[in-house]
Amino acid sequence: MLFETASLPFRDLQLGDNEVHLWLLDTALLPLPGIDDQTQVDTSKRFVRRFYLRLLLAAYLGRPAHLVKLAKTPSGKPYIGEWNGGSRPPLYFSLSHHAGKLLIAVCRWFPVGVDLESETRPLRQPMKLAKRYFHPAEYEYLHSLPKEKLHDHWLTIWTCKEAVVKATGGGIVSGLDRFVVLLGEDQPQLAAAINTPEDDPLQKLKLVNLQPQPGLQGALACDLSISTLRGWQLASTDQTG
Q: Can you give the pLDDT at residue 240? A: 42
Taking the C-alpha atoms of residue 57 and residue 89, their distance in angstroms, rounded to an integer, is 12
The answer to whether residue 188 sits within a structural domain is: yes
The answer to whether residue 162 sits within a structural domain is: yes
The answer to whether residue 21 sits within a structural domain is: yes
The answer to whether residue 229 sits within a structural domain is: yes
Residue 136 has pLDDT above 70, yes or no: yes
Per residue in 3-18, pLDDT (tens digit) is 999 998 998 899 999 9
What domain range is 177 assigned to? 3-234
Residue 101 has pLDDT above 90, yes or no: yes
The answer to whether residue 64 sits within a structural domain is: yes
Mean pLDDT of 156-185: 89
Residue 41 has pLDDT above 60, yes or no: no
Alpha helices in the chain (DSSP H): 38-42, 45-61, 126-133, 136-143, 147-168
85 φ/ψ sector (left φ>0, alpha ψ -120 to 50, else beta): left
The answer to whether residue 240 sits within a structural domain is: no
Mean pLDDT of 189-198: 84
| DSSP structural state of residue 27 | G
The answer to whether residue 239 sits within a structural domain is: no
Domain count of the fold of the chain: 1
Whichever domain contains 224, its CATH number is 3.90.470.20
The answer to whether residue 153 sits within a structural domain is: yes
pTM of the predicted structure, to 2 decimals = 0.91
